[in-house]
Amino acid sequence: MSAKLIAGNWKMFKGPSETLAFFDRFEAPDGVDVVLCPPYVSLEAAVGEEWPIYAQNVHWAAEGAFTGEVSAAMLVELGVQGTLVGHSERRQFFGETDETVKQRAEAALDAGLAVIACVGETEAERESGETDAVLRRQVATLPRHDELVIAYEPVWAIGTGRTATPKLAQEAHALIKSCHPTRVLYGGSVKPENAEELLSQPDIDGALVGGASLDPYSFSTICRTAASLS
Ligand code: PGA
C-alpha cells in the first residue's frame, strides 16, 4: 500500500514565530507523507523545515492588478511546493466558484506546484439528496494531472466536531475516484481519536486536518497513526 498523505491546514492561525515553535515540537515517522499549509506570511519561515510546505490558495494570473492575491511563480520563488485550492471557506466566504478553482489549479500545476483541490457538499445539499451531483460537478471541473490530489471535505463536518462516519466518507471517496482517479484525502474534524477508523477505509488515502494540525502533538499523533496503516 502507498503511504498516506496527511496535510495540515492552519487557516488564519500562526505567524512566523508560532510557525517555528510548532516545528520545534512536531515529529513524523517514516511511512507517511506530510504537508503543512501555513498562512502566506509564515511560508518563508516554514520552507526551511523538513516537510513540504503548501500555500492555502493561489491566483491564476502570473502577475497583475489583483490586490491581496499571490501568484504561483511567487510561491515557487519562495520554495513552496504546492497549494490548496477551492477550500470550502474560500467558496463560502470569498466567492470562489468551480471555474475560479479550476483556473487556480491549472495555474499552480503549470508552474510546477502540487495541488490539493477541495470538494464537498453543504448540509442542505446532503439533506436534499444532492451530494452525488454536487461532488460530480465539482470534480468534473478539476484538471487531470499526476500532481493533483482531491480532498473530500463535507462542509457540515469542517470545524464543527461532526465527522462523517467512515462508511459515509468511504462512499463519497469511491464516487470521487470513479470520476477522477487520484489520491483522495478526507477532511472535516479529523483528530487523533478518529484518525484510525477513517484512514482504514480502502479509498481514504490521507487526511486534510484543520484544527488538530495546530497542535504539534495532535498532528504528530495523526501522522503516526497514518504511518502505521501504510
Ligand atoms: P477541521 O478543518 O479539521 O478543523 O474540521 C478541516 C479543513 O477545513 O481543512
Q: Quick one: pLDDT at residue 4?
A: 98
**Per-residue 3-state assignment (H helix, E strand, C coil) for 18-45:** HHHHHHHHCCCCCCEEEEEECCHHHHHH
What confidence score (pLDDT) does residue 72 get?
A: 98
Q: Is 153 part of the annotated catalytic residue set?
A: yes
User: Which residues have any ligand 1 atom within 6 Å of their CB?
Assistant: 9, 153, 158-159, 187-190, 208-212
| Alpha carbon of 203 to ligand 1 centroid (Å) | 19
Of all protein residues, whose CA lies closest to atom 9 belonging to ligand 1?
Answer: 210
> For the chain, which residues score pLDDT lower than 70?
1
Ligand 1 centre distance from Cα of residue 198 (Å)? 14
Q: Where are the alpha helices (DSSP H) in the chain?
A: 16-25, 43-46, 72-78, 88-93, 98-110, 123-127, 131-140, 166-179, 195-199, 216-229
Q: Assess whether 121 carries a catalytic annotation.
A: no
pTM of the model: 0.97
Q: 59 in helix, strand or coil?
A: strand
User: How many angstroms is it from 159 CA to the middle of ligand 1?
Assistant: 5
Q: What is the pLDDT of residues 61-104, one digit of tens each?
A: 999 999 999 999 999 999 999 999 999 999 999 999 999 999 99
Q: Cα 169 to chain center, whole Å?
A: 15
Catalytic residue, candidates 89, 106, 125, 153: 153
Give me the pLDDT at residue 230, please. Answer: 81
Within 8 A by CB and 6+ apart from 13, the residues are 39, 214
Query: How far, in Å, is the centroid of ligand 1 from the Cα of 187?
Result: 6
Is CATH 3.40.50.280 correct for 4-229? no
Closest residue (by CA) to atom 1 of ligand 1?
210
Burial 104-135 (b: 16+ CB within 10 A, else e): bbbbbbebebbbbbbbbbbeebbeeeebeebb
Q: Which atom of ligand 1 is nearest to the CA of 211?
A: 4
- The C-alpha angle with vertex 16 and arms to 15 and 21, in degrees rounded to 5, equals 100
